Structures are given as C-alpha cells and as structure tokens.
C-alpha cells in the first residue's frame, strides 16, 4: 500500500439523519474517485439512538478489525471523541484528524444533547482519559476548527501540544462541510 492509498475511517457527529445522509452521499461520491485500497469507510455512529457507549465502542472495535487497512481516522464533531479513543488501539503510524471535534469537557454537554445522544458524555469522558493518560507526541494527530464554531467552545476542540489548524470558516456545520473536500482530498 502506498502513502496515497490508505483507507480512511470516518466517524460522523450528531447531525440529524438528513445531515448524516448528505455526508454519506458525499463520501460515496468521493469513493468513486478513489482507489479500492483507499476508500473512506464511514462507521455508523448512531449517536441519536439509545445505544450505550459500551455497545458503540464494541461495535467500533469490531468494525475496525474488519477493515484492517485503515491508516487515517477522521473524527467529526462528536465522532472525534470516538476517534481519540482509538489512538492507543490502532497502529502507531495511523494519522488522526479531529474536525470541530468534541474532545474534552463532557460537563459542558447540555441537557438537549445528552437527551439526543446519550452515549456522547461517556465518549467524551473516554476521550479525556486517553488525552490525559497517553503520550500523544508519539502519534500523528491534528485538530482542525473554524474561527468561530457556535456549537463548541475552542477549548473543546484543542489538545495541548497537538497541531491545531484553522479552517477558514465560521459556524460548526459550515466548517465541517468545508473540511470534507479539503482535508479528505489531500488524503
């Protein structure tokens, strides 16, 4: 497998079914232009279900073991917390991109989001655990965020000593939309 041919794991955020479906259609379109060994694999995060974090985590680990060619993980919004939890589980040469990602501060998740996505709080707690217990300098991690998010605070999306790149956009959703063609096109 060459550096240009690496499978990508995409972990989507909380968006409603319509938003997630649009993202998956775009990914399907991108995959038609990508080599077979460099497909973007979208894990069904199912945030807005009653699925527990333990079940979600178990499903994700099974999914990753079925797709052993994954060398890039792209965690978007809530999906970034799941992506961070994979850091100690995948090969050390795996590349991670956290886009407008909820990586820290589970206590700042509001009641509405807790109700819509009951596994999110525990996922962010697991993400914080990995961040505090792991020497992240050993991994290829990058955080990406717009200039003004409107949904998440900047502190939620930044990890100390991890590169932080600005996407020239404001608004949570618009930043994510801008990230898809720019970051994924480079991978």
Query: Looking at residues 98-102, what average pLDDT do you find?
Result: 95
pLDDT for residue 141: 97
pLDDT band for position 73 (cuts 50, 70, 90): very high
Task: Using the CB atoms, write b or e for 25-42: b if 16+ within 10 Å.
Answer: eebeebbeebeeebbbbb
Instruction: State mean pLDDT over 130-146.
Output: 95
Residue 3 has pLDDT above 50, yes or no: no
Say if residue 33's pLDDT is above 90.
no
Sorting pLDDT into bands at 50, 70 and 90, what band is 5?
A: low
17 versus 125: which is more confidently predicted?
125
Predicted confidence at residue 61, as pLDDT, reads: 97
Q: What is the mean pLDDT of residues 146-167?
A: 93
pLDDT at 1 exceeding the cut of 50? no
The tokens for 45 are 């995060």
**pTM of the shown model:** 0.90
* DSSP annotation string for 4-25: T--EEEEE--S--HHHHHHHHH
Q: How many residues does the chain have?
A: 187
Domains of the chain, CATH where assigned = 7-186 (3.40.50.1820)
* Integer Rg of the chain from CA: 15
**Average pLDDT along the chain:** 89
> How many Å apart are CA 51 and CA 36, to the nearest integer?
31
Whether residue 37 is predicted with pLDDT greater than 90 in this model: the reply is no
Q: Which residues contact 47 (CB under 8 A, 6 or more apart)?
A: 12, 13, 14, 78, 116, 117, 119, 120
Average pLDDT of span 111-135: 94
- Asked whether residue 71 carries a pLDDT value surpassing 60, the answer given is yes
């Amino acid at each position: 497998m060459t550096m240009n041919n690496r499978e990508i794991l995409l972990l989507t955020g909380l968006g409603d079914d319509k938003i997630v479906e649009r993202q998956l259609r775009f990914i399907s379109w991108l995959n038609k232009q990508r080599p077979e060994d460099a497909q973007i694999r979208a894990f069904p995060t199912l945030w807005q279900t009653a699925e527990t974090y333990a079940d979600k985590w178990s499903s994700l680990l099974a999914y990753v073991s079925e797709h052993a060619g994954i060398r890039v993980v792209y965690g978007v919004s809530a999906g970034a917390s799941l992506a961070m939890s994979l850091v100690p589980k995948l090969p050390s040469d795996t590349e991670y991109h956290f886009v407008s990602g909820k990586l820290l501060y589970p206590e700042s998740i509001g009641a509405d989001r807790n109700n819509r996505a009951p596994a999110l709080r525990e996922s962010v707690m697991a993400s914080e655990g990995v961040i505090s217990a792991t020497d992240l300098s050993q991994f290829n991690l990058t955080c990406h965020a717009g200039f003004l998010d409107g949904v998440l605070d900047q502190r939620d999306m930044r990890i100390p000593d991890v590169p932080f790149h600005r996407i020239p956009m404001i608004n949570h959703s618009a930043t994510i939309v801008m990230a898809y063609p720019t970051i994924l096109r480079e991978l």
